Each structure stands twice: as C-alpha cells, then as structure tokens.
C-alpha cells in the first residue's frame, strides 16, 4: 500500500501549503498520539525543531494535536535531528518528532517521526498514522488532556552525548576548526562541543533569523566555509546542513570531501581496527563506483540500498552492520546514533587527523571518483518518465554505458524533480548520454 502524506523522509512541503499547514500538523499530531497512546497509561512525545520561522507554527499545532489525545509533550526547542532520536530513547518517550526540511530552503518544512527506540518509523507505522489522519480521531476526555512542558537541558544532554563519541581524554588542542552550522539546528551545539573539546573554533552560519537557514552556507553550499578555511588558515572545515544530520569536510586547501570520501575513510579505519561489522559499508545507489571498487580492493563490501537514509538504516539493522550513509553527507554510525549525525561524523574525521598525525588533505581523498553527472529537472503534474521518448533515451543510454558505467534515473521523494545521474570512466561519453536523457525529460515536462 502506498503512502499518501509521508515521503522518503517524513512529511515535507511548502510551509503554509498542504500538507505543511498548521491544520495538517494538528491532525498528524493527534493521529500519531492516538497511534502511540493505546492505553490509559502516561505516554510521552519529545518534539525538536530547526530554526525556520514556520517551525514555531508547526510546533504549536503538533503540540495541540498530541495533547488532545492525552500525550505528555516535551518541547526541546532547536536541536539537531539526531538529538531527537537520542532523547526519544533516553527519555523513554513513545515517539519523537523533528520539525525540519533538512537541507531545503527556509520556505519548505517537514515533520519526521522517531519511534521509542530512536529509529525513524517504519513504512507500516506511517501508513497506520495516515489512516488515522483521514479518519475520526478519538480525543481524550478533559481530565486526560496531555501536559506540555519545555525541556531546558535537552540540548545539553545531546552535547554531552556527542562528546562521548570522541576518545576519552583526547583533546583538539592546537587544532583550528571552521564549523558551518547553516544557520540551522546545530548553531549552538556544534561550536560549543568543538570548543569544549579544545579546538580553536571559527563559527559561521550561527546567526539564524528564521529565513537564512541553508542560505549560502552549510553542507549544500560550502563556498563560504571553504573561503573561511583559507582566510583563517584553519586545519579543517566541517559543514552541516539545516538539521545537522549531514556533513561535508573541507581540507586545509579548501577542497571539499563528500559523504562517499568520509564513509570511505571511516570504513577503512574501522576495518583496520576490527571495528567494522562484517567488513561491510552500507550506502545507496548514488554512491560513486570509485568508492565501491576502492573498498573491494581493501576487502570491504559495499552494500547498496535505495536512496534515503531510512533505507540505509533499515539495511544496517537487518544485516547488523554498524556503518552506512549517503554521498550527500548522511553518515550513520549505529554504535553511537540511530540516524545521520553530522557532528559525530565530523568528530570521527578530527580523531583520524589526530591519530594519523596527517593533514585533512591526506585523509579527505580516499579514492579517485568516477566522473559523475547529476541533473535535476523540475516537472509539474505529468510524469516525464512515463513517456515513450524518455524511456527510449534511457534505454539508449544504458546500452552506451553498459561496459564501463551506469545510469540512475529516479523521481525525488521530497520535491517534484526527476534526478538523472550517470557515471562513466569516459567523461565525454557520460556528458553525451546524460545530456540526451535530460533533453528528452525536459521536452516531456
């Protein structure tokens, strides 16, 4: 059965437009509250958010919905997404909610749900909540309306937890670190953790105003941080996205390392130390073929999943693997966290620098990537992938790349976009193939 409201990462859309309205947030909160509150015992929900102005509106609506079904509501304020998963588990909550559209611009927003184990909800749970949204939701009696309270130490709990992912008694003394928080949820936590661990910190993207999240900064726009690394002669830069579940690393020369390079580094190090479960890294179909071939030479298996960190985590849990992620910068280390955590991944990289006594540039380039092209084509109501011309162009492209490359064409789960990705050792052939498919898709929109 398909899902009506939930996409690849919760419910997401344009703020104040369906389904990201206060009315829908109210019903989602009530539906989730009814789903999790199956008896008369006390049940808890923890709610975090990023720094978008619309997050405050959605927080209020969700709160009313949960309280109306008898849930006790604990408001965390602006916190990273991984903090919600961690706190849902540590505070014995039945459900955790993060209000964020992650790396999207301020005008988008989203609602992500976590279960009591700190992991994102299953497809089955989301489908059941959707059924409740569209039905008659049984409200609590007046005497059973849930209480609402703010939790002042939630962010502090997460910061102390993040520091436990760094070796005990090891410090970042003498290291100069640029941290770009994308004017998002980690604007307080990330610089504080790095400073408390001993680093000299150059913070940027730490002045949120409700509208500047991910605007010219963060993991999706690393130019500002790269410039700061060069200007301040920093040892390394760490770029987070709006909800801090993604990371990009910038070396001392201003060169960016994406999630594939970071995963490759961690996988190698953990494998060498006997810490990589079953010598396997879980990544998506978007990860570069160069990473797969490099790891294979090291005796490490790359297990691919569909796009989306929830698919990565599902495969990790099923196979009992402890490292996975995405090229986009989601790095999931299940020994520490239940979802992507940009800050903890960044700390792993800093620890590698200290233990190896090597500069960031020596660690951030683990493999030579295959030439890769990704084009995003926006469409309206008509699905261009269903047209005969587009199907023919894709078939021709697959035949052309069959010997030394691959194609991946899919629709985005969060935006009305067709994503055309290709990889090939022959860059010229790759440009021609991707260009032909993009032309066909645009003609069909």
Which CATH topology does 11-152 take?
Alpha-D-Glucose-1,6-Bisphosphate; Chain A, domain 3 (3.40.120)
Per-residue pLDDT for the chain (445 aa), expressed as one digit of tens each?
Answer: 467 899 878 999 999 999 999 999 999 999 999 999 876 678 999 999 999 999 999 999 999 999 999 999 999 999 999 999 999 999 999 999 999 999 999 999 999 999 999 999 988 999 999 999 999 999 999 999 999 999 999 999 999 999 999 999 899 999 999 999 999 999 999 999 999 999 999 999 999 999 999 999 999 999 999 999 999 999 999 999 999 999 999 999 999 999 999 999 999 999 999 999 999 999 999 899 999 999 999 999 999 999 888 899 999 999 999 999 999 999 999 999 999 999 999 999 999 999 999 999 999 999 999 998 999 999 987 889 999 999 999 999 999 998 788 999 988 866 789 999 999 989 999 999 999 999 999 998 8
Specify the DSSP class assigned to residue 384. Answer: G
**Cα–Cα distance between 32 and 94 in angstroms, integer?**
10
Q: What pLDDT is recorded for position 40? A: 65
Q: List own/partner pairs for 350-355 with CB under 8 A and 24 or more apart.
A: 350/166, 350/172, 350/175, 350/177, 350/199, 350/236, 351/166, 351/167, 351/170, 352/265, 352/266, 352/269, 353/175, 353/235, 353/236, 354/170, 354/172, 354/175
Backbone CA torsion sign across 22, 23, 24, 28? positive
**Cα–Cα distance between 245 and 325 in angstroms, integer?**
11
- Nearest CA to 218 out of 230, 204, 235 is that of 204
The CA-based angle 343-347-351, given to 5 degrees, is 175
pTM strictly above 0.95 = no
Domain 372-444 has CATH 3.30.70.20: no
287 is catalytic: no
The number of beta carbons lying within 10 Å of the beta carbon of residue 313 is 24
Where in the chain do CATH 3.30.310.50 domains reside? 372-444
Establish how many alpha carbons lie within 13 A of residue 291's alpha carbon, considering only the half-sphere containing its beta carbon.
Answer: 33
Q: Is-contact 248 219, C-beta < 8 A?
A: yes
Q: What pLDDT is recorded for position 383? A: 87
Q: What pLDDT is recorded for position 445? A: 83
Q: Which of 54, 55, 100, 102 is catalytic?
A: 102
Where in the chain do CATH 3.40.120.10 domains reside? 11-152
**Collapsed DSSP state (helix, strand, coil) of residue 304:** strand
């Amino acid at each position: 059965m398909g899902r009506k409201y939930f996409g690849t990462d919760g419910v997401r859309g344009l703020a104040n437009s369906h389904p990201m309205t206060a009315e829908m947030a109210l019903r989602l909160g009530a539906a989730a509250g009814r789903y999790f509150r199956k008896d008369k015992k006390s049940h808890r929900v923890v709610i975090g958010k990023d720094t978008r102005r619309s997050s405050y509106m959605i927080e209020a609506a969700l709160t009313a919905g949960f309280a109306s079904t008898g849930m006790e509501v604990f408001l965390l304020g602006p916190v990273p997404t991984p903090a919600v998963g961690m706190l849902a588990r540590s505070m014995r909550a039945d459900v955790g909610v993060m209000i964020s559209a992650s790396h999207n611009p301020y005008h988008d927003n989203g609602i992500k749900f976590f279960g009591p184990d700190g992991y994102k909800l299953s497809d089955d749970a989301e489908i059941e909540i959707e059924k409740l949204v569209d039905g008659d939701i049984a409200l609590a009696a007046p005497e059973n309306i849930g209480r609402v309270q703010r939790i002042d130490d939630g962010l502090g709990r997460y910061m102390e937890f993040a520091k436990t992912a760094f070796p005990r008694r090891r410090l970042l003394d003498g290291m100069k670190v640029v941290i770009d928080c994308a004017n998002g949820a980690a604007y307080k936590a990330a610089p504080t953790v790095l400073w408390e661990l001993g680093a000299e910190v150059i913070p940027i993207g730490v002045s949120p105003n409700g509208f500047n999240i991910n605007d010219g900064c963060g993991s999706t726009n690393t130019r500002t941080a790269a410039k700061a690394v060069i200007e301040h002669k920093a040892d390394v830069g760490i770029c987070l996205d709006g909800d801090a579940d993604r990371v990009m690393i910038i070396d001392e020369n201003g060169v960016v390392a994406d999630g594939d390079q970071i995963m490759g580094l961690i996988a190698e190090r953990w494998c060498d130390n006997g810490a990589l479960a079953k010598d396997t890294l879980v990544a998506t179909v978007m990860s570069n073929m160069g990473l797969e071939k490099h790891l294979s030479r090291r005796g490490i298996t790359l297990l691919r999943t569909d796009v989306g960190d929830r698919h990565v985590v599902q495969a990790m849990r099923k196979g009992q693997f402890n490292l996975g992620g995405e090229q986009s910068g989601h790095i999931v280390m299940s020994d520490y966290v239940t979802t992507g955590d940009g800050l903890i991944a960044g700390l792993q990289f800093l620890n590698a620098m200290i233990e190896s006594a090597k500069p960031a540039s020596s660690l951030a380039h683990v493999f030579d990537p295959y030439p890769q092209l990704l084009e995003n084509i926006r469409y309206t109501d008509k699905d261009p992938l269903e047209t005969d011309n587009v199907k023919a162009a894709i078939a021709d492209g697959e035949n052309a790349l069959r010997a030394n490359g691959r194609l991946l064409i899919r629709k985005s789960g969060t935006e009305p976009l067709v994503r055309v990705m290709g990889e090939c050792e022959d860059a010229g052939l790759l440009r021609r193939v991707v260009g032909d498919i993009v032309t066909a898709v645009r003609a069909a929109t």
